[in-house]
Each structure stands twice: as C-alpha cells, then as structure tokens.
Chains A and B, each alone.
Chain A
Amino acid sequence: MFNSLKRIITLGWQNLARDGGIAVANVFIIMIPIMLTSALFVLKDVSNFLVKELESKADISIYFNDSVSRDDILKAEDNIRSIPGITEVEYKSKEDALADFTARHGNDPVLLQSLEEVNENPFLPVLNINAASTAQYEQVAALLDGDQYKDMVSKVNYSEKKDAIEAIFSLTEGAQRVGLYLFIILGVISLIVTFNTIRMAILSRGMEIGIQRLVGAARWFIRGQFLVEGLIFGILGALFSLFVTMIVCWYLNPSVAKLLPGMDIWSNLMANLWTLFGLQLAIGAALGTISSMIAVGRHLKV
C-alpha cells in the first residue's frame, strides 16, 4: 500500500514534469480564480475602510440651547448611546465648537473678523451622532422630539440631512452588492475556464490513461496520479498567487495610503497572511483536484 502510494505520488509528479508547458499553463489558469479571490480579500479591507469613511460622513448633530447644563447634555448622550446601532456619540461644548471653527478657518481672515465682530461665542453645545443605519437616526430624532428634550434642543439637523444620509447608505449597500455580483460572475467564468483547460490537458493524455488501463492499472491508481497532479497545480497556483498578491500590495501601498489616508493595505495583508494563504490553498487544491477527477473520469468508464 505504501509502495503504491509512493508510486502514485512519483508518477503524478513525473507526469506533470514531463510536459512542462502544459503544467505551467495549468498553474497560470488556476491562478485566475485564486487571484480573483485574493483581490477580493484585499479589496474587502479597502471597501470596508471606504464604507466606514463614507458612513462617518452620514452623521446628525443635535444643538442644545445655551442654557442647558453640560450634565443634562451628557445624560442625553447616555440615553442616545443606549439605542442599539448607535456607533458613536461625540459631545462638543460651545468652546470646543469655537476652537474647531477657528482652527478650521484659520486662513480665512474675513470669517475670523466676522466672528470678532459678533463679540461673543455664537456656537451652541452639540452632540454629533453616528449610527449603523438610517433607522437609528429616525429613533434619535423621535427621542429628541419627545417632551423630555423639547425645551433643551435648539435644533436637530436630521430632516435637512435625511436625503443625503439615505443616499450614502444606499450607495454603500449598492456598491457592496455590485461587488458581490461582479465577483460571482467573474468567479463562475474563471472556474469554467480553469476546469476546461485542465480537462483539455487531460484529454490529450488519453493514450497514457488507455495504456495504464490495458495493462491492468486499478482505477484508483490512475485517479490517484491525476489527483496528485491537480493538487500540485493547486499548491503551485496558491504559492504564486500569494507571491503576486504580496508584490502588488507592497507596490501599491504608498499610492493607496496617499489616496486614502489611514489605509495600509500592506499591514492588513501581513496581519492576515496565513488566512489568505489558507484560502488560496483551499481554492487551488479544490479546483485542481476536482477538475482533474472529473476530466479523468471520462477515460475510466470502461
């Protein structure tokens, strides 16, 4: 048994090595779906980053009357935080708001002069709120409409931002859906291409399989060789894909960081390198072995 296993592995490797050109073509073909998955793996981080960035812009602000004490505002903050799905609540006193404004418009002398002419701090204390979906914003708006907060709140900018917030959420959801559909379509195409290429390669070896059958080789012995071959294609495809993914991420990292400050695709890749390699290996091995098994099965019917 051990001898047969050893021979299957040796023959599988020798068959593959005997026709280097076809082996290289198979490895490259198998790399297509693996690279597609790898790209999705890396782009998932970029897309999450972008979605987060975009969704953080979809916030609402609650402006409190000047007379409301800091303690009351912080109590309101606690109440808002207790609503499920609220991701962030930030309190800004009127002093913080003024400091922010001054810092932001430090280069605009006209604005700063206007502020001086007012001769008092025109800003109101505010709570900036971020939520996971538009439903939570509705809940916050409803809470603040209640009697408890009616006299405290000067203004909630939800109604004027509502359309923009909904547009942002539907845009991010739409982008994720389109990405998923695109992945499925490309994935199916690349699977068909991979399967057919491996099938053609095996079809060209019909005589070899025929000879093995005629001399009485067991089916599992013949299948075994192609299983080993398919497995090697998959492993090589996964290794090369990992290598290419690393090079691409390393090369693109500075440009991505410039475009999306805070995004570091290289560090993300390094942090998830083993997960990605496991995924690539699983896809490569599954594709290589399944395609080989189905293709060789046609020759073993008799």
Chain B
Amino acid sequence: MIKFNDLTKIYTSRGANNVVALDGISFDVQQGEFVSVVGRSGAGKTTLFKLVLAEEKPTNGCIMFNDQNIHKLKHGKLNGLRRNIGAVFQDYKLLPNMTVYGNIAYVMKVIGASDAEIKRDVPRILEIVELSEHGKNYPTELSGGECQRVAIARALIHRPEVVLADEPTGNLDPYHTLDILKLLLKINEMGTTVLLATHNREIVNKLKKRVVTLEKGKIIRDEENGRFAL
C-alpha cells in the first residue's frame, strides 16, 4: 500500500550545517497493518510523516501510495490522496473556537460532504470515540485524552485508508495513553492501516505489532511483533 523507496531528506539552510533527517530508508506498509515507527527525538519520525502527507519534498527517493508517487502528483490528485490519509498530532490541532461537533463537521464541510452526511456521520464517529455527550463542548473544556479522541475522530471522519498518528500520546498521562492506544487498535481492527510514531516504550511493547526503529534517519530494525529496543 505504501512503499518507501530509498527515501532521503536533507534540510539545508544558509550558514548552517545540513541536517540529514532521513538517510535512504526503504520499507513497505501493507493494507490493514499497524506499524509503530519508533526512535529518539530527531530520529526522523515526524519528517517521515510529513513526507507521506506531502508537506515536505524528499531530497532523494520516493514514496509510492497505492502505486502513485506522492510527490509527483498534481494538486488535484494530491488533495484526493490526502483525503485517504487521516492525521493525528501530539498537540491535537483542534480549532479552539469550535465545538467538538464543529471541529469534526468542519472537515466534512471542507471536503464537500452534504449537510445530511454531516448529520449522519459526525454522531456516529463521536460514538466510536466515546464522546457522544461532549459534542457541544469546546476543546478547552476537555481533558487531553478527550481532545486526542476528538482529533482521532476528525482524522477518521472522511474514512481514510491510512491513519498517521504522530506522537498521539505525547501529552497524555498513562491512563489516557492506554485509552488512545485502544482506540487506535479498534480503528485498525476496522480495516484502517495505522502508522504510529512514538517514543513511548510501554505502548510499543504492549501492542505486539510491527515495529520500525529509526536512528539518525536510518532504519536500524524492522520486526514483526517487535519491541521497543533503543
């Protein structure tokens, strides 16, 4: 489904040393897989996700998504691709002046869903993330874990094939971390491919899923039922 081919990303800036964020990495992700990408800060996890979302361009190599080179897509097709990817971030990126319902409905409006679809799908997704009673609350009125569940609901609302979760538990306590983990597993069981970037040893070890370990922009380990070993 997603193929990373000899992917290299080097950040260059005038008057400073070049930073090699990714150094020729290659691996495949199959449909329905749950892959944890682990590594210390600066290992290249976030850069990898930015490249998948086409927020950045690779210095070398390519990413094939369903046999299409992401970075060679024209804007129209790139928008189509992005609708196939749901993104979840450590800082939630919720719009503070919109309710929980509004934050999720906003995404649907943007991608052109009808009012009837919004009315049908938003309550459903709120039910999946167990936030049905919080539809009218604002993000500031929710706990970190609840905010992250809203962010996951928002990432799922357009039924993407893949969910990229970049340190989704980075701001959460152990209880809420487990909560989010369960939710990501539930999404995966429903058929959605999940790519999780984390440096949380505990959750990776609990998952017992495939683990790709990055260090200084290189893959140092890629194991099924892997463990966090750094």
Interface residues of A (CB under 8 A from B): 3-4, 7, 10-11, 18-19, 207-208, 210-219, 221, 302
Contacts and interface: CB of A to CB of B under 8 A. Distances in A.
Nearest to B57: A302
Contacts of A11: 109-110
Interface of B: 53-56, 75-76, 78-83, 85, 87, 93, 95, 97-98, 106-107, 109-112, 114, 158
Contact of A215 (B56, B95, B97, B110): B110
B82 to A, nearest CB: 4
B75 A215 contact: no
B79 A216 contact: yes
A216 B81 contact: yes
A287 to B, nearest CB: 26
A230 to B, nearest CB: 19
A213 B82 contact: yes
B167 to A, nearest CB: 16
B95 A208 contact: yes
A214 B114 contact: no
B57 to A, nearest CB: 9
Contact of A218 (B55, B75, B85, B106): B75
Contacts of A217: 79, 110-111
A3 B112 contact: yes
A215 B112 contact: no
Contacts of B56: 302
A216 B82 contact: yes
Contacts of B87: 214
18 contacts: A7-B109, A7-B112, A11-B109, A11-B110, A18-B97, A207-B95, A210-B93, A211-B93, A213-B82, A214-B85, A215-B107, A216-B78, A216-B111, A216-B158, A217-B79, A217-B111, A221-B110, A302-B56
Given A7-B112, A211-B95, A216-B79, A302 B55 contact: yes
A283 B79 CA distance: 34
A18 B110 CA distance: 16
Contacts of A216: 78-83, 111, 158
A211 B93 CA distance: 8
Nearest to B96: A207
A211 B82 CA distance: 11
Contacts of B109: 7, 10-11
B105 to A, nearest CB: 11
Contacts of A219: 75
Nearest to A11: B109
Given A4-B112, A214-B87, A302 B79 contact: no
A64 B82 CA distance: 92
| CB-based closest 7 A-B pairs | A216-B82, A216-B83, A216-B79, A217-B110, A215-B107, A212-B110, A18-B97
A216 to B, nearest CB: 4
A211 B81 CA distance: 15
A191 to B, nearest CB: 30
Contacts of B85: 214
A296 B54 CA distance: 19
Contacts of B110: 11, 212, 215, 217, 221
Nearest to B151: A211
A211 B107 contact: yes
A18 B99 CA distance: 12
Name the residue among A3, A216, A221, A302 with the largest chain B CB count within 10 angstroms: A216
A3 B115 CA distance: 10
Contact of B76 (A4, A7, A19, A218): A218
Contacts of A18: 97-98
Given A7-B112, A302-B55, A218 B79 contact: yes
Contacts of B111: 215-217
Contacts of A10: 109
B82 A214 contact: yes
Name the residue among B53, B93, B109 with the largest chain A CB count within 10 angstroms: B109
Contacts of B83: 215-216
A9 to B, nearest CB: 12
B38 to A, nearest CB: 23
Given A207-B93, A211-B107, A214-B87, A302 B54 contact: yes
A216 B78 CA distance: 7
Given A4-B112, A217-B110, 7 more contacts: A207-B95, A215-B111, A216-B79, A216-B80, A217-B79, A219-B75, A302-B55
Nearest to B81: A216
Nearest to B112: A4
Nearest to A214: B87
Contact of A19 (B79, B82, B97, B106): B97
